[in-house]
Structure 1
Amino acid sequence: MTVYTSPYPAVPVPDDEYSPNAPAFIDAASGKTISRSEWRDLTLSLAWGMRHELPKLGGVAITRGDVVMVFSPNSIAWPVVLFAGIAAGLRMTLANSSYTARELEHQWTDSGAKVVFVHPALLPVVLEMFKHLDVDLTAARRKIVVLDWPFREPGLGDFLRLDDLLGKGALKDEEKFPGELANETVLVCYSSGTTGKPKGVMTTHRNLTALMGMVDTVYPRDGTSQVMLGALPFYHIFGAIKLLHFPFTRGMPTVVMQKFDPVDACKWIEKYRVSDMLVVPPMCLIFTHHPAVGQYNLKSLKFLLSGAAPLGAPLVNALAKRLKSVGTNIIVSQGYGLTETSPTSHMLPVHDAMRKIGSIGPLLPNLEARLVNDDVDDAAVGQPGELWLRGPSIMKGYLNNVEATTNAITPDGWFKTGDVAVIDEDGYYAIVDRRKELIKYKGFQVPPAELESVLLQHPDIVDVAVIGVVSEEEATELPRAYVVSKNGLAPHETKAFGESVQEWIKPRVARHKFLRGGVVVVDVIPKSAAGKILRRELRERAKAEGVANRPVRAKL
């Protein structure tokens, strides 16, 4: 067995100290700023409110170990709620803000959440979810806290608000998780793993504290001038950890954007002198071509770190060239990780960003890796194998899913990522393929099985298979459905039928799951003798068909 270790020495958790008056989080649009000391006061006050004031105000009582959901786009309230929940000893489950009521229902039920902190704009989705669950409005109100802080919105009636829980008291200190208690779950983010419905990933206190020190080893330092732009969604573990946790440990203020917009991003980079930004490949593509890049002063920008999906050398070169043309001294790097790895396991160091362009870098400290073929043999250097990882940042397992956990983590602690990688002679890794069926649309996970189950509810579809097709233009995968019509269609009818299916599914799934890769009408879905969909055949066919957002007909 060949086991690789990190070239970096093992690291302890960092213990830096920063001025309590330094900004911690800044709302980009309003300029509202929370200092580090204000953040701590708010966190301990809200933690008290969660534990002691909720039942007094008619809400559900929650105690250490209970699960609380956050369902909101990015806001300056996010770090207050997230860290207050952690300080109160709660487990926080973070829900995709584009979820429909049915999708939210799965996470609410599976996670065992007792209370949801919801943005006012998403309150109708939560109420619809409770209606599906046969929870009447009176009972639903006890489980809801509206997340409209610090700008209280009118017209929300008798719903509890975040500021109803503030200023009533404060925990003296956060709940402690020493020794073995550090292995208790603190986050339950949802990942699709390899197949099936999204699964709750049990991330522990130990996972997170270990990861902070591991990333700190590689992430570049630039004194006290570093400012992070928080454009990625905080409900995704990439945003929750690398935009809310990590910058705080580094003393870097995070400028919070509600959602990514290229013009706004450039505006905030100029206004707040942003130096660092976490991105995904589609954002890199936008910055490469968008005119706003030349309309604002971006000279403060020094470091872009891409994640969530592979970033190829051509796009890195094009982006760096564009940003340098407007006066930046930019370094574009990338890392690798999954929800199950908390999330980062690899990161390309800045001194090798160009020499090793396209690589995800070496293994972070405290981790071990294997490259395995067919769960048995180790691949040689330069040869592809499935990446297995072991170390303190690997999840505890999947919530309420022993089978999925057993399939993902070996008895001796190796997590099977499902991604195929190669390692070079210098110990640098590159992701070359994926064993998973999971589709990644702009960094968001799209499980084919989930879309297939929705499409099979269509009255005129009798069989279906969903795959991802690569769009070079958009630098992402697009979900494409291959469907068998119930009644059979003439060639001239397939286009209209496919377009109708694309529209039919939109109100039933989140936006990132739309069938942007098109709908292909086929006579039969290719399957093995055991009934397993032969997705490889569909992927080969898709390569020949190309990417087209219009339905086509193909014979299989």
Structure 2
Amino acid sequence: MAPRIYTSPVPSFPILSTSVFTRLFAPRASGDIGGFPADLRAFVDAESGASITRAQLVHLALSFGYGIKHHPNTSRFASRGSTVLIYSPNSLAWPVVLFGSVAAGLRCTLANSAYTAHELAFQYADSGAKVIFTTEDGLSVVREMFAESGIAKAEADKRIVVLGADLRWAGGPSAPAGAASEGLVRMEDLLDKGKLDQEEKFEGPDAHETVYICYSSGTTGKPKGVETTHQNMTTLLDIVAPAFPPLWENSIMLGILPFYHIYGAAKLVHFPFSQGCPVIIQTKFEPDKFCAVIQRFRVTHALVVPPVLVVLARHSAVDEYDLSSLKVLFSGAAPLGHTLVKQVKERLLAKRGGRGELGITQGYGLTETSPTTHLLTVGEADRKMGSIGVLLPNLEARLVEDDEGEVDAEEGKPGELWVRGKTVMKGYLNNPAATANAITPDGWFKTGDVAIRDAEGYYYIVDRRKELIKYKGFQVPPAELEYVLLTHPDIADAAVIGLESVKEATELPRAYVVHAHPEKVRSAEAKAAFARSVGKWMEGKVARHKFLRGGVSVIDAVPKSAAGKILRRDLRELAKQEMARGELGGEVKARL
């Protein structure tokens, strides 16, 4: 039987084969940059207010690209196709360094700014990077990483470029250099050497060369480097535009997502620029600062993850600032339930007297898909609340019941989501076995997520295939239980994992919850009483096979990645510790 292949309701269109830099910066008419006025602000530093225009960004990027190719410390590592590593939180320097490196023909690998030296050492070696861009705060970790890698300090210091806090290059405030960075090359040192006449070109077949290497944690083994090509990224920019929440004249985007994550890199550093929308750069998410920045800059759009929406639903800062300019909240990277959407929408609109517009929507994708494959439009956000939206144009999808793809799910039934198209990665760097396991010979990428497609072509993620809990033959999606738990008035956050019951030969759902008022559950007795009450409360909310038979534990915070995904592996480790202490009983164990 032929596979059941779904396509997008949005018409396909021609795919370009060009470099990321050319796609973003090439003029469309006399005097413009990428189709928008050269003097339009591109990026703004939230703290200082310093900003760079589109014209300034082009000049700075081409100057940086020239500098890295000609500075005596970096030139030996800057031939076309060489890899550089960015290890830094969000900053105004980020787009300059990223696009400057791309203009020089380099690959960029983006590292989590919270990495330890050991974690960073793995990515540095696996990606083949030589030069590393970091902040003064990151220097101690970088130097420890070089030492662990067996690179002498004198040589290591020649491979470091410091992104300082001094913003005079962008018309912003000055800041003194730290003693630890003395003698190191600084970003500013690469801006005054000259300027590239033009960017390195990646046209036609060359567009399939790798430009970014982000690392995907996966579910097993070490992180894997995802090879994202110029073609992947430029295709993404084109196919996202028809379905993304509309950006109109005077729209302003708030950038709190980490730029090192593909979600932030694609949707904040690349996409708004391609649409002529300024981005306000915030280094990290803090509720009060988040709300203050929205008020100060009259932000209209914010890209978030579900934990940010939890804050907006409950934090007191929401009542202290004027958030009326906010028109669109777009969530990604983790499942978003309709209950949380309703809570946020009701709270924010109540402050406006029930007037005005506020769209809360979401999309779906993975690092391996550059990252987006599905989007829920603002116009359908209320009617299809909880959906990840429709498949984007130029992509195909399947819902598969088996690992080999021989059996497709029936219409309206769940199956593993497979996608195929020009946004799917070239492969995992240095890992052909993992690539072969993830991508079929005919190009289907196995997402590992279980989805349902309704009669109108809207998709709903049920859960990760490997995270589904099986209770006596019934499938129990952790995400569904988490959505229910978040409706409890005294629960601020929640996560669910499966425990294996030896006695019953099945898995039991166990919940980890964060109390909305921690001061009320300081003692062990209070935590135990609250946990029991939550378990009893859930019995009135879900079917019997979804009861929390593995128990409830009260914790201080649910472990999550910077992108907002629940780190279930950490919770499984916690469950093992609880089992060792005899807190789970002798007949259950955490699933590997």
Name the TM-score class by shorter chain: 0.7 to 0.9
Summarize the Cα distance change of 1:253–1:136 in structure 2 as closer, same or farther, 3 Å threshold: same
- Three-state SS of the structure 2 residue aligned to 1:214 is helix
- Three-state SS of the structure 2 residue aligned to 1:433 is strand
Q: Aligned partner of 1:408: which letter?
A: A
Q: Deviations over 1:522-543 (max 9, x none)?
A: 7999xxxxxxxxxxxxxxxxxx
- 1:181 corresponds in structure 2 to 206
Q: Aligned partner of 2:134: which letter?
A: V
TM-score by length of 1: 0.81
1:519 counterpart (554, 560, 574): 574
1:239 pairs with 2:231:
no
Query: Is the CA contact (8 Å cut-off) linking 1:480 and 1:515 kept in structure 2?
Result: no
Q: Deviations over 1:147-202 (max 9, x none)?
A: 11525523221111111111211111111101110000000000023421100000
C-alpha deviation, 1:433, in angstroms: 1.7
Q: Aligned partner of 1:103: which letter?
A: E
2:311 counterpart (286, 296, 300): 286
Summarize the Cα distance change of 1:175–1:523 in structure 2 as closer, same or farther, 3 Å threshold: closer
Summarize the Cα distance change of 1:522–1:326 in structure 2 as closer, same or farther, 3 Å threshold: closer
- 1:95 corresponds in structure 2 to 111
1:413 counterpart (440, 443, 446): 443
C-alpha deviation, 1:555, in angstroms: 1.6
- Three-state SS of the structure 2 residue aligned to 1:368 is strand
- 1:357 corresponds in structure 2 to 385
- 1:313 corresponds in structure 2 to 338
- 1:458 corresponds in structure 2 to none
Mapped to 2, the partners of 1:298 and 1:329 lie a distance apart of 12
- 2:44 corresponds in structure 1 to 26
Q: Identify which range, 66-75 or 219-228, moves more after superposition.
A: 219-228
Query: Is the CA contact (8 Å cut-off) linking 2:83 and 2:128 kept in structure 1?
Result: yes
Q: Deviations over 1:2-27 (max 9, x none)?
A: 00000001134686611111100000
TM-score by length of 2: 0.77
- 2:227 corresponds in structure 1 to 202
1:10 pairs with 2:31:
no
C-alpha deviation, 1:421, in angstroms: 0.3
Give matches, 1:434-473, under 5 Å. Answer: 434-436=464-466, 472=486, 473=491
CA RMSD of aligned residues (A): 3.0
Query: Is the CA contact (8 Å cut-off) linking 1:59 and 1:142 kept in structure 2?
Result: no
Unaligned runs of 5+ in 1: 439-466, 483-491, 493-501, 526-549
Unaligned runs of 5+ in 2: 17-22, 29-33, 168-173, 469-477, 501-523, 525-554, 588-592
Give matches, 1:155-194, under 5 Å. Answer: 155=179, 156-194=181-219
Mapped to 2, the partners of 1:551 and 1:89 lie a distance apart of 57
Summarize the Cα distance change of 1:232–1:431 in structure 2 as closer, same or farther, 3 Å threshold: same
C-alpha deviation, 1:220, in angstroms: 2.8
C-alpha deviation, 1:297, in angstroms: 1.4
Mapped to 1, the partners of 2:585 and 2:323 lie a distance apart of 48
- Three-state SS of the structure 2 residue aligned to 1:70 is strand
Q: Aligned partner of 1:22: which letter?
A: L
Q: Aligned partner of 1:40: which letter?
A: V
Query: Is the CA contact (8 Å cut-off) linking 2:261 and 2:563 kept in structure 1?
Result: no
Query: Is the CA contact (8 Å cut-off) linking 1:347 and 1:362 kept in structure 2?
Result: yes
Query: Is the CA contact (8 Å cut-off) linking 2:453 and 2:460 kept in structure 1?
Result: yes
Mapped to 2, the partners of 1:258 and 1:476 lie a distance apart of 26
- 1:75 corresponds in structure 2 to 91
2:294 counterpart (245, 269, 272): 269
Aligned length: 482
- Three-state SS of the structure 1 residue aligned to 2:295 is helix
1:554 pairs with 2:554:
no
Percent identity over the alignment is: 49
1:338 pairs with 2:366:
yes
Q: Deviations over 1:453-472 (max 9, x none)?
A: xxxxxxxxxxxxxx999574
1:367 pairs with 2:395:
yes
2:453 counterpart (405, 423, 427): 423
C-alpha deviation, 1:519, in angstroms: 2.5
Q: Aligned partner of 1:275: which letter?
A: T
Mapped to 1, the partners of 2:13 and 2:44 lie a distance apart of 30
Summarize the Cα distance change of 1:551–1:50 in structure 2 as closer, same or farther, 3 Å threshold: farther
Mapped to 2, the partners of 1:22 and 1:294 lie a distance apart of 32
Q: Identify which range, 56-65 or 269-278, moves more after superposition.
A: 56-65
Mapped to 1, the partners of 2:371 and 2:290 lie a distance apart of 24
Give matches, 1:531-542, under 5 Å. Answer: none
C-alpha deviation, 1:222, in angstroms: 4.3
Summarize the Cα distance change of 1:430–1:481 in structure 2 as closer, same or farther, 3 Å threshold: closer
Query: Is the CA contact (8 Å cut-off) linking 2:389 and 2:458 kept in structure 1?
Result: yes
- Three-state SS of the structure 1 residue aligned to 2:391 is coil
Mapped to 2, the partners of 1:29 and 1:481 lie a distance apart of 45
Q: Deviations over 1:447-494 (max 9, x none)?
A: xxxxxxxxxxxxxxxxxxxx9995744556489999xxxxxxxxx9xx
